[in-house]
Amino acid sequence: DAKTTQPPSMDCAEGRAANLPCNHSTISGNEYVYWYRQIHSQGPQYIIHGLKNNETNEMASLIITEDRKSSTLILPHATLRDTAVYYCIVRVGGYQKVTFGTGTKLQVIP
Amino acid sequence: NAGVTQTPKFRVLKTGQSMTLLCAQDMNHEYMYWYRQDPGMGLRLIHYSVGEGTTAKGEVPDGYNVSRLKKQNFLLGLESAAPSQTSVYFCASSRLARGTDTQYFGPGTRLTVL
């Protein structure tokens, strides 16, 4: 699986959009970009994933650059409950090794 | 639909004791995983299973054994616990569909080895 690089921490004002970047310059053509988050002490929670097209669901939007070397997770209206560590992962589905890394700690500020 | 459940939620062991962590999923997923998470670190894969009766080593398998006798259950065993195994253990399951799989995680088991 390709390695990812994320900033260690970010702040976002409550109600504003949170934009979390991820670099994955060595991504392979068949690897998907996944985002998970982990709220303090809980199990990681799936957010969204995509291959090359932008994706949106009820939680977030995922923007993948045309060359697929980076992506951005967008939480459109951040709330205090969105304070968590966000993990960007690139992987082929079903492949056994999933490297979570240390993620980005997002702090939503009132 | 309970998703992924783990028992116990907390456990304290003495060095050398043994125990088994149980993971159960009711989503009929083929894949199941055991991870450990230490303070300030991401999740590290211990063992995984791609189906009933099959298991394989992950990134940090030493000191652990696993079994998948039933599709819905994945057991993680510590035969002789060591303080280095103090950690939070997460189980996950997933289903492969169209080349992708989303992992669903349990709430975790906090293990302390004295």
By percentage, how much of chain A surpasses pLDDT 90?
Answer: 75
Nearest by CB to residue B96, choosing from A46, A93, A101, is A93
CA distance B6 to A82: 24
For A:15-74, CB contacts with B below 8 A are 30, 32, 34, 36, 41-46, 49
pLDDT in tens, B43-70: 899 999 989 999 999 889 999 999 999 9
CA distance A51 to A57: 15
What pLDDT score does B99 carry?
Answer: 66
pLDDT in tens, B67-112: 999 999 999 999 999 999 999 999 999 987 666 778 899 999 999 9
- Evaluated on CA atoms B76, B26, B108, A104, the torsion sign reads positive
CB contact at 8 A, A46 and B3: no
pLDDT greater than 70 at residue A44: yes
Cβ–Cβ of A42/B58 closer than 8 Å?
Answer: no
CB contact at 8 A, B90 and B76: no
Min distance A106 CA to chain B CA atoms (Å): 14
What pLDDT score does B98 carry?
Answer: 65
pLDDT in tens, B31-43: 999 999 998 778 8
What pLDDT score does A94 carry?
Answer: 64
Residues 6+ apart with CB under 8 A from A58: none
Tokens describing residue A25 = 């310059």
CB contact at 8 A, B114 and B83: yes
| Residue A41 pLDDT level (bands cut at 50, 70, 90) | confident
CA distance B63 to B50: 21
Cβ–Cβ of B100/A49 closer than 8 Å?
Answer: yes
Cβ–Cβ of B42/A99 closer than 8 Å?
Answer: yes
Write the DSSP symbol of residue A31.
P
Bigger pLDDT: B41 or A34? Answer: A34
Arithmetic mean of pLDDT, A86-96: 79
Min distance A67 CA to chain B CA atoms (Å): 20
Min distance B23 CA to chain A CA atoms (Å): 13
Arithmetic mean of pLDDT, A61-69: 96
